Amino acid sequence: MQGVIKSFDPSTGDGVVVSDTELRDYDLAVNALEGSIFRMLRQGQRVLFELDGEGRATELRLGSEVDLGTPTDLPGF
């Protein structure tokens, strides 16, 4: 899944990511940053993520506009 960081508290590790496709909020799992290049997250940062067994965002990695599959056949593109 891909989304955007809505909030992140570096002191507690608590945060929320909003899914691009469902526009749904997902809490970050406690281990969401383990094994990733991220040490900090900022509001508005685009990320790819998986959901754990409890429906929390985990395995965060860099996201990009290309991953969205943005249509290029629309007028103006």
CB atoms within 10 A of CB 49: 23
Residue closest to 14 by CA, chosen among 68, 56, 55, 70: 56
Mean per-residue pLDDT, 49-77: 71
What confidence score (pLDDT) does residue 33 get?
85
pLDDT at 12 exceeding the cut of 60:
yes
The CA-based angle 70-56-24, given to 5 degrees, is: 45
What confidence score (pLDDT) does residue 10 get?
87
Domains of the chain by range and CATH?
Answer: 2-66 (2.40.50.140)
For the whole model, what pTM was predicted? 0.77
Q: Is 17 buried (19+), middle (13-18) or exposed (0-12) by CB count in 10 A?
A: buried
